[in-house]
Structure 1
Amino acid sequence: MTQVFSGDGLLARAMRSSALTVASFGSSQVLRLASNLILARLLFPEAFGIMAIVSVIIQGLMQFSDVGVSPAIMQSKRGDDPDFLNTAWTIQMMRGIGLWLAACALAWPVAQIYDAPLLLQLLPVAGLSLLITGFNPTRLDSAKRHLRFGRVTAIDFAVQIAGILAAVGLAWWLQSVWALVISGLISALVGLVLYWVFLPGPGNRVRWEKPAAQELVNFGKWIFLSTICGFLFNQADKLILGKYLSFSVFGVYNIGFFLASFPMLLGNMLTWRLLIPIYRELPPGESPENFAKLRRMRFAVTLALLALVAIFALLGVWLIGVMYDDRYEMADAVVVMMAVMQIPQIVVMTYDQASLAAGDSRRFFILTLAKAVLMITALILGLEWGGLMGALISYGVAMLFAYPVVVWLARRMRAWDPLHDASMALVGLGIGGLAVWVNLDAVANLARASGW
């Protein structure tokens, strides 16, 4: 068994990276859960609701301006060229400065839209994290390119510890949402210092090489559009529900979403970190052997994620009852329904990166655009039809309608595996049905509260 993890081949690096990613994710989520439990008692639901809006805006700015520097470094033939890396870092640094200015400019209109004057102060301060991370070295992307995650994992863990300690200490002292904003800045600063000091490789400097810039722009123009759509797909629930619901109910939703999102977060982390290098070195259309290796990987990843979904879907009501007080009523049913409705996305999530690995960012954009349009449409219709319960159901419905586009992309990359999709869909259907049956009382309560 140890031979699989040793050596410098693709399989060994992928296995080590997978193990480190899972271990890092598991430990970080345990810490995140512990800090969330403490913060839920030090703060009130309204604080989580307001912070959710701040987080959505900050993430939106990052994604609305993403020019694909990281995936470009991971897939480009010049990904180890110092001139290419320094040009990429210069673009990233300029982007960070622009993002902070954009956060300041958006503070007033966002505060007006959500009728929350405090956002006028919170957003410019929270936006400083975008300025800070713009100076992160490209050594971080180089480590991802070569599937070397040892030091990256250790640094990320240290950054999370620093952020949690800061958040808990500040929440105890300030009793305010400011604790969450300031702790985010502390995390960004700690990460910047540790990445520069402890990651191996040459440092970055300001550089503008025209061929490198052209390659980054040509690849990144579709990534830019894709990340806008990806933001709308991933954050549409918070943008729309934050307007429809009170901050108190919205805070309850976010507590439930926090638990239910564990499998999806792990899946996104695994696929983003591993699949571009794996698809790059094992193109599925190149040989039956490559396709067979990718099939085994796909089954292993999907089964592991569905097992996690089963845990949260079946035990969501019990987990909320044990961990939270009655201020977070209805969060139990949110956990169950959100976990179940993520199953369609988990079944097909190993296809997206195939096009990026082949340098085809245009098809990746088309897929993310389709998913964003379907998700926004489904959420609005679901809310109008069935309140919060309707919105939760619409999450899964949107992914079912997006499946033909996923198949289109996967077939173009010769990566589509109908055997995997059909068998995993049956497993997911069984998990979802059992979870709703076991937690029927909680689900029925949420349905009644949603006006059913």
Structure 2
Amino acid sequence: MPDASPADTPAPSSLRQRAGSAALWIGLGFALTQAVRLGSSIVLTRLLAPEMYGLMTMGTVVISAVVMMSDFGFSQSVIHNPRGDDPEFLNTIWSLQIGRGLALCLLMNLAALAMVTSHTWWPGLLRGSYADPHLPGVVAILSLVPIAMGLESTNLARAQRALAMGRVVRNEVMVQLCVTTLMIVLSLRWPQYWVLPLGWVVFSSSIALLSHFTLPGPRNRLGWDRAAASAAWHFSKWILLSSLLTYLFREGDRILLGGMLTSAELGIYAVGVLLVNATREVIYRLAAFVGMPALAEVAREQPERLRQAYKQCRLPIDAVCVFGAGFLFAASDRIIGLVYDGRYSAAGHVLAVLSLGLIAFRYTVMDQYLIATGETNQLFKRGVLQNVMLYSAVPLGFSLWGMTGALAGILLAQSAVVPFMFKIQNDRGLLDWRFEFGTLAIFPLGWGAGWLVS
């Protein structure tokens, strides 16, 4: 593939058109991939036992730990930095990505070895789902994922920077279809615990491969530019710290519940939180892959329009979050009963409670605003607040009221960010109380739609 300039990524001329096109592609891609995942979940939950989903849940806790705790924000650096189309800058970022991937692979295998050693020499040291003898194998398989992620072309980030998401989304949907088919075929022949982590490895490797051969832009080579590395570190140092806290918060429910529940019970919890996480994923994708690049471009070129651009980003995100919270809260039992067999009926309660957390998740747009303007230190403060609340409220809630108390603790921690976000917005002249409370009127509409289908 020959070197290419930014013009090689075709896109409509105006920011509004590019943002609308990117949002459309992301929304379409999300709908298709979630339809595939739902179909996969329906089939695989009948082929695989709940404890296998619990094992995969704990495996994702480990891989998320090593990935998030070493997140230097390389993609965000490409989007934010004025040199985001400079081949020397891109090659430096790619070299850093590869080094990080190899280090994470080694770290995960050391974690798997530590688990095996614990099972052999100190039986009983690990409890709950952590004590499952198959968990080290899951972690070892997943250790290949960081290598695949490190090999991804920086043209993925360039596509996000230019809001040219068409080919990126097409690649994801195509790979999701192929991997789902592969996992179902493997589960029919070998309904074993390794099927789920292997699917993740194949997915990540395929995305990395396609990023080099289907996305326009300069071909990556190993390289080093001291100024580029310095700029990336200056931008990313707070992202690294905030990503650590984001991991501890995002995976905190699994970290804590993993020591309180069996693998089967944790598998039921994972099914219950699946639809909430799916909704959060599309919201995050819209905010991070459309909102942040758009806000970064406005901050670079038209800073006087930043307040208007922020509100324009908030409106659709708020609508999706608040409507989704009402819908899932009302229809939770019906959805779980329709999609899954009787073994997963308790997941409806999990879905109903945690769906309310979507109301607070709408402030993810503010996170992207802070990244776009380079104020990443504020993300660290937010992370500290949420983690203190999570790691105190969940154990206390579980000890007092069991699973319902733990769910209430998770919801309380998710909501703790709201007053902080009000202050952040107010300090920057972004706070509009009529907007903040007016969008909550969408909740009854979502609840009504959920009530109709239930």
Give the TM-score normalised by structure 1: 0.90
Matched, 1:106 2:111: yes
- Maintained 8 Å contact 2:353/2:411: no
Q: Secondary structure at the match of 1:245?
A: coil
Matched, 1:7 2:18: no
- Maintained 8 Å contact 1:171/1:180: no
The one of 379, 383, 399 aligned to 1:368: 383
Shift in CA distance, 278/147, structure 1 to aligned 2, threshold 3 Å: same
Measured in 1, the distance between the counterparts of 2:271 and 2:242 equals 28
Which runs of structure 2 are paired with 1:287-326 in the superposition (5 Å)? 287=304, 290-326=306-342
TM-aligned CA deviation for residue 209 of structure 1: 0.8
**In the TM superposition, what whole-angstrom CA distance separates every residue of 1:321-369 from its partner, at most 9, and x where no partner exists?**
11111111211121111112332223x2221111111112212222223
One-letter identity of the residue aligned with 1:224: L
Deviates more, 1:201-210 or 1:256-265: 256-265
TM-aligned CA deviation for residue 162 of structure 1: 2.0
Measured in 2, the distance between the counterparts of 1:8 and 1:79 equals 19
- Maintained 8 Å contact 1:351/1:416: no
Measured in 1, the distance between the counterparts of 2:221 and 2:280 equals 36
Matched, 1:359 2:374: yes
- Maintained 8 Å contact 1:341/1:392: no
- Maintained 8 Å contact 1:257/1:338: yes
One-letter identity of the residue aligned with 2:92: T
The one of 332, 348, 355 aligned to 1:332: 348
One-letter identity of the residue aligned with 2:433: P
Measured in 1, the distance between the counterparts of 2:258 and 2:422 equals 33
Measured in 2, the distance between the counterparts of 1:205 and 1:249 equals 46
Structure 2 portions without partners, runs of 5+: 1-10, 119-125
- Maintained 8 Å contact 1:135/1:192: yes
The one of 206, 211, 214 aligned to 1:195: 211
**In the TM superposition, what whole-angstrom CA distance separates every residue of 1:124-166 from its partner, at most 9, and x where no partner exists?**
1211111122111100000001101010011111121122112
Give the TM-score normalised by structure 2: 0.89
Matched, 1:69 2:74: yes
Measured in 1, the distance between the counterparts of 2:412 and 2:453 equals 21
Which runs of structure 2 are paired with 1:111-130 in the superposition (5 Å)? 112=118, 113=126, 114-130=130-146
Query: How many percent identity over aligned positions?
Result: 26
Q: Secondary structure at the match of 1:224?
A: helix
Matched, 1:411 2:426: yes
Measured in 2, the distance between the counterparts of 1:278 and 1:416 equals 20
Shift in CA distance, 15/132, structure 1 to aligned 2, threshold 3 Å: same
Deviates more, 1:252-261 or 1:390-399: 390-399
Higher relative contact order (CA 8 A, sep 6+): 2
The one of 372, 388, 392 aligned to 1:377: 392
Structure 1 portions without partners, runs of 5+: 1-5, 441-452
- Maintained 8 Å contact 1:263/1:309: no
Measured in 2, the distance between the counterparts of 1:396 and 1:203 equals 45
The one of 150, 167, 176 aligned to 2:166: 150
Measured in 2, the distance between the counterparts of 1:23 and 1:363 equals 32
Deviates more, 1:367-376 or 1:116-125: 367-376
Shift in CA distance, 439/232, structure 1 to aligned 2, threshold 3 Å: farther
Measured in 2, the distance between the counterparts of 1:331 and 1:435 equals 20
Shift in CA distance, 417/74, structure 1 to aligned 2, threshold 3 Å: farther
Q: RMSD over aligned Cα, in angstroms?
A: 2.4
**In the TM superposition, what whole-angstrom CA distance separates every residue of 1:407-427 from its partner, at most 9, and x where no partner exists?**
233334443333222223454
Which runs of structure 2 are paired with 1:213-228 in the superposition (5 Å)? 213-228=229-244
Matched, 1:165 2:181: yes
TM-aligned CA deviation for residue 258 of structure 1: 0.7
One-letter identity of the residue aligned with 2:426: R
The one of 231, 246, 263 aligned to 2:262: 246
The one of 225, 228, 244 aligned to 1:212: 228
* 1:17 paired residue number: 22
